[in-house]
Amino acid sequence: MQVLVIGSGYVGLVAIVGFAEAGHRVLGVDVDVSKIEQLKKGKSPIYEPGLEDLLSKHLASDAIRFSTEMRDGIATADAAFICVGTPQSEDGSADLQYVLACASEMGSAMSEQRTEDALPLIVVDKSTVPVGTASKVAATIRSRTDRAFEVVSNPEFLREGNAIEDFIYPDRIVIGCDTDFADGVMQALYGPLVKAAKEKLPNGGRWFRMDPQSAELTKYANNAMLALKISFINEIANLCEAVGADVDFVKVGIGADHRIGPFFINPGPGFGGSCFPKDLQALLKTGRENGLPLLSLNATVEANRNQKQVLARKVHLHYNVQPYDPFPLSGKCIAVLGLAFKAHTDDIRETVALELIGHLLQMGADIVVHDFEAIPNARKIFNDKINYSDSPIDACQNADAVIICTEWPQYAKIDLDRLASVMRSATMFDGRNLFRPEDMRAKGWTYHSIGRVSVYP
Ligand code: NAD
């Protein structure tokens, strides 16, 4: 089949290589000329495990092509996927300007390029969009063309850092559509991936057909539920610290209840990333518009705002920071390990690390950072205000303290004795609970983590 993917960012690029892997011919489109030039040479502008290998493989066989012009693919496409960004507007709602610009351009291109007897083009909203967007996209396209099409909602559930696996072996496909024809096209497109997922995963490849509104809401409800779980365990972790309990015990205790399950109940320094913060705001806005304040979601957002300061609060307490001192950390060197919002990605949008670094700089600290993939993105933000290091050990050279913000597995395997030997003081603030407090105490560290008592040498 012929697939057109508009927007070649995290979601679009993964869909491009994923559909090529499923045996389809794909044209990837983006308005960013330099991104398209890079992609044509097989270079991925983002880091995602396995992505660049698949990109090279399918460029070589001509299954994937790139262009800045959707017109280059609209005549022959069976389906056109909209994968452009939906950032947060000032009022919290999802900004649909890129999605609707895409729809408008698509309508014009269809008018010029598609013949009257062509089968209806299946236009797929893969961007995360509020309820009712499929109708808006349809109306926008209809205002530009009388060629046949149908708009389908197909939200994306990939996890950054695991995106290729998630796309190629999907646990579920959610399709919001009005006709059997559209469902049939989507089944043909995803067929090889669904088959592979069914063979590989116990509950993989489940197909959920529904109306477009329900599909649109499913994506937001999914992210909101995950965020709620994180905020809940973070608050329980804070309570553990206050009462002398250990969240590691509490989380396995509650995770063993099959109604709760062991997933997504790891405490941390608050969630960030490109999706949860904006998607939660967009869902709250939808609630307000419908007279429903979504109280649990409000609490989730509030709890996360508080949690994103947990590491800074621990630093304040440790150094006895006083409000009247303008630069209380002047002369202190702090190493920050991990900038990405989670491991195996270079995405630093809305991360805890960015906020924390900004705060520590204001307090006068010198900052050295390390990340396995996100340094180029961090340089664009901090330039020479902070120092960058190629290795975690080098980042901690002469540091007064190290803060772990991202759960890169390599950090958990770090040689703690060597790390202590290069630092001025063996002090760690571990936002990801990578180590056991009793081990850290035995090794002579001062160790602050989340939801467990601090230990001192
Ligand atoms: P992104 O910013 O990485 O990519 C968007 C791309 O669209 C950019 O490359 C941009 O240049 C391009 N673009 C914008 N307007 C265009 C146009 N008119 N024509 C062609 N290209 C255009 O964004 P992303 O992270 O891939 O997210 C895209 C959507 O998918 C968002 O709605 C997001 O919420 C959703 N989503 C993201 C993830 C994720 O993990 N990143 C997961 C699920 C859903």
Provide φ and ψ at 253, rounded to 5°. Answer: -65, -45
Quick check: CB of 31 below 6 Å from ligand 1?
yes
- Please name the CATH architecture into which domain 220-307 falls: Orthogonal Bundle (1.10)
Cα 88-380-432 angle, rounded to 5 deg: 70
386 touches 356 (CB < 8 A): no
Identified catalytic residue from 102, 177, 240, 275: 275
Per-residue DSSP letter, 89: P
Query: Could you give the CA distance from residue 454 to residue 439 in angstroms, rounded to a whole number?
Result: 12
**Choice from 4, 6, 10 to test ligand 1 binding pocket (greatest atom count within 8 A of CB):** 10
Collapsed DSSP state (helix, strand, coil) of residue 450: coil
Q: Which CATH architecture has domain 2-210?
A: 3-Layer(aba) Sandwich (3.40)
Ligand 1 atom closest to residue 94's alpha carbon, by position in its atom list: 32
User: At the top level of CATH, which class does the domain 310-448 belong to?
Assistant: alpha beta
Give the N- to C-terminal CA distance of the chain in Å, as an integer: 64
Position 278 scores a pLDDT of 97
Given a cut of 90, whether residue 267 has pLDDT beyond it is: yes
Identical fold at 2-210 and 220-307? no
pLDDT tens digits for range 365-414? 999 999 999 999 999 999 999 999 999 999 999 999 999 999 999 999 99
CA-closest candidate to residue 336, choices 317, 315, 350:
315
The strand pairing partners of 80, in sequence order, are 4, 123
Please name the helix (run of DSSP H) or strand (run of DSSP E) that holds residue 42, with its range, or none.
none
d(CA 448, CA 427): 8
State the pLDDT confidence band at 323, using cuts at 50, 70 and 90.
confident
Distance from residue 11's CA to the centre of ligand 1 (Å): 6
Segment 130-140 shows an average pLDDT of 98
What share of the chain has pLDDT > 70, as a percent? Answer: 100
Check if 240 is active-site. no
Q: Could you give the percent of the chain with pLDDT greater than 90?
A: 99
pLDDT tens for 188-247 read: 999 999 999 999 999 999 999 999 999 999 999 999 999 999 999 999 999 999 999 999
Ligand 1 site, residue 30, Cβ cutoff 6 A: yes
Ordered by start, the domain boundaries in the chain are 2-210, 220-307, 310-448
